Amino acid sequence: MVYIKQLSEFEGKEVTLKGWVANRRDSKGLVFINLRDGSGLCQCVADENKITAGEFDQAGKLSLESAVEISGTVVKDERQIGGFEIQVTGLKTIQVAEEFPIAKKEHGIEFLMDQRHLWLRSQRQWAILRIRNTIIYSIHNFFQKEGFMQMDAPIFTGNACEGTSNLFETDFYGDPAYLSQSGQLYGEAMAMAFGKIYTFGPTFRAEKSKTRRHLSEFWMIEPEMAFYDIHQNMDLIENFLQYVIKEVLDKCQAELKLIDRDTSVLESSLNKFPRLTYDEAVAIIKGEKDVNGQNSIKSLEVELAEVEAKMIAIIAEINDRETKIAVPGMKKGEINFNQTKIANLKNDLKDLEESQRNIPQWIESAKNFRYGNDLGGSDETVITRLFDVPVMVYDWPHEVKAFYLKRNPENPRFARGVDVLAPEGYGEIVGGGERETNEQLLRDKIIEHDLPMADFEWYLDLRKYGSVPHAGFGLGLERLVTWLCKLKHVRESIPFPRMYGRLLP
């Protein structure tokens, strides 16, 4: 058995492929089968004269997604996707599929999510999840080559890392237990034992968020390094992200092309990441400070004008095409083509209308940003649009950040946290920082945040026995996948997304 990916090694030879029918067309005496086997796609041509009548009959009856075993000769054909096609010499039906729900046309997102188990078979999903796999693999490669040890934090936790409001509560032999929202505190314990560690596991947040950035269950990578300060932490984040981006660029060209990803921003992200303090970031958001000659507020206003110009152009095109269709005498195929075009244009128009509604809100929120607050989603969007590389923002007002972050010794108003904001409006993909080493300061913070002290005694022990400067960060895998693939929504970045209102399939 041969996989489609290997066909170039078998030119002129006879091979047997096993897979599913991705598409089928027939003419008199010929059946074209687009075979999908998980490794790729390949057209197989069944000619009436080259196979038995029984086989040809079977070929004609193959429905979409039927399973089939095909033998044939590998022929070079530039017109084909993979550059090769199969001249069929033998065909065996494994199963004839019932009518496949996902048709070869546009579908709404709710329908596709209901069909997620089948949607995974489509080319676009295939490419995205292949890229996800490359990302996962290169994350492990990076940390392993850097001497990190992979360790797992527990998923059931008795203590709430940052308050219980957004945790999933479960029953643990009669006691309440929460699904982990971060392995970080455990990561610190493991770093004190092994030096440099990273966790890679699922995380759960019970936020009733309905935005393109949130999942209830997502995968997080959390490195933790003993003897690192915030600057070394930022160096590591930059090296790490650039390694992963480079691997994706090197190994996933075909997949990136399939999903139509313009890779220029990924390439420019191999340059140095700007490091802004919170103060600098706020000045940029409020439009008080320009970046590379660009002003945040002005660039949003320009974008709004562009959106409105595009809307006018699209409306004109829709009208134009509708008038054309209305004239009698147009061929049916051409009418269909135009109708599909119109439907697509209307969808584009809906997206633009969303932007038209959102951008003025973002401008308002940027102008009225109150110093001392955390950055909101739109603020992140505003700032990252001005750069073509990820941006790091560090030294935050300590009130808005987690209790375990270290204060800047030179200016204790600030906590030494760092957020990495992805370009192209994607926002936060990494959150991390240097950890507080002083036991008493931690106790004060725990009280300030109104957290149950008893649950943190084990954590505070780490400050009693060889407490050292240390730092780490958390990377949201799905957010990274979403950005690298330039997806509209995180739900496509994971095989089976779990989010508010979505538990099946």
Structure tokens at 407: 């204060």
Contact between 32 and RNA per CB under 7 A = yes
Residues in Cβ contact with 152 at an 8 Å cutoff, skipping those fewer than 6 apart: 183, 199, 200, 201
Angle, vertex CA 301, rays to CA 299 and CA 307, nearest 5:
100
Contact predicate 76/84, CB 8 Å: yes
d(CA 124, CA 139): 23
344 vs 440 by CB, closer to RNA: 344
Answer for which of 26, 279, 303, 455 binds RNA (CB under 7 A) is 26
Q: DSSP 3-state assignment of 110?
A: helix
Q: What is the DSSP string of 315-340?
A: HHHHHHHHHHHHSTT--HHHHHHHHH
Q: Of 97-105, 133-141, 243-251, 269-277, which segment contacts RNA by CB under 7 A?
A: 97-105
Q: How many residues does the chain have?
A: 505
Site for RNA in 260-289 (CB under 7 A): none
> Nearer to RNA by C-beta: 463 or 476?
476
Q: How far is the CB of 166 from RNA (least distance, A)?
A: 6
Binding flag, residue 392, RNA (CB under 7 A): no
The strand pairing partners of 392, in sequence order, are 275, 420
DSSP run (H or E) holding 298:
helix 296-326
CB of 232 to RNA, least distance (A): 19
Task: Compute the distance between CA of residue 133 and CA of residue 248 in angstroms, rounded to an integer.
Answer: 10
Asked if residue 45 binds RNA (CB under 7 A), the reply is: yes
**Residue 251 or 500 with smaller CB distance to RNA:** 500
User: Would you count residue 368 as binding RNA (CB under 7 A)?
Assistant: no
Site for RNA in 158-177 (CB under 7 A): 162, 166
Q: Tell me which residue has tokens 């709004």.
A: 304
Applying CB under 7 A, does 212 fall inside the site for RNA?
yes
Residue 341 binds RNA, judged by CB under 7 A: yes
Residue 70 · residue 34 · CB < 8 Å? no
Which of these ranges, 146-154, 384-392, 403-411, 423-431, lies near RNA under the rule CB under 7 A?
A: 423-431
User: Contact with RNA (CB under 7 A): which of 6, 253, 319, 339?
Assistant: 339
Nearest distance, CB of residue 8 and RNA, angstroms: 17
**Under the criterion CB under 7 A, does residue 488 sit at the interface with RNA?**
yes
Asked whether position 110 contacts RNA by CB under 7 A, the answer is yes
Q: Does 23 bind RNA (CB under 7 A)?
A: yes
Is there binding between residue 201 and RNA (CB under 7 A)?
Answer: no
Question: Residue ranges of the alpha helices (H) in 418-463?
Answer: 439-448, 457-461
Distance (Å, rounded) from C-alpha 296 to C-alpha 302? Answer: 10
> Least separation, in Å, of the C-beta of 478 and RNA?
5
* Contact between 358 and RNA per CB under 7 A: yes
360-369 long-range contacts (CB < 8 A, ≥24 apart) are 360/304, 362/300, 363/297, 363/300, 363/301, 363/304, 366/285, 366/286, 366/287, 366/296, 366/297, 366/300, 367/286, 367/287, 367/297, 369/282, 369/285, 369/286
By rule CB under 7 A, what string of x and - marks binding of each residue 49-68 to RNA? Answer: x-------------xx----
Query: Which CB sits closer to RNA, 26 or 280?
Result: 26
Q: Which is nearer to RNA, 273 or 362 (CB)?
A: 362
Stretch that binds RNA, among 223-231, 352-360, 384-392, 440-448 (CB under 7 A): 352-360
Residue 483 · residue 424 · CB < 8 Å: yes
Asked if residue 109 binds RNA (CB under 7 A), the reply is yes
Cα separation, 153 vs 150, whole angstroms: 10
Closest distance of CB 325 from RNA, Å: 9
DSSP 495: S
328 binds RNA (CB under 7 A): no
Q: If binding is defined by CB under 7 A, does position 374 make contact with RNA?
A: yes
- 289 close to 283: Cβ distance less than 8 angstroms: yes
Please provide the distance, in angstroms rounded to a whole number, between the alpha carbons at the two ends of the chain. 32
370 near RNA, judged by CB under 7 A? no
Per-residue binder mask for RNA (CB under 7 A), 457-486, x = binder: -----------------xxx-xx-------
Contact status: 101 vs RNA (CB under 7 A): yes
Residue 360 touches RNA, criterion: CB under 7 A: no
Span 138-157, contacts to RNA by CB under 7 A: none
385 binds RNA (CB under 7 A): no
CB of 84 to RNA, least distance (A): 11
Within positions 115 to 134, which residues make up the interface with RNA, using CB under 7 A? none
C-beta of 103 vs 454, nearer to RNA: 103
What residues contact residue 205 under an 8 Å CB cut-off, 6+ apart?
Answer: 166, 167, 181, 214, 215, 216, 218
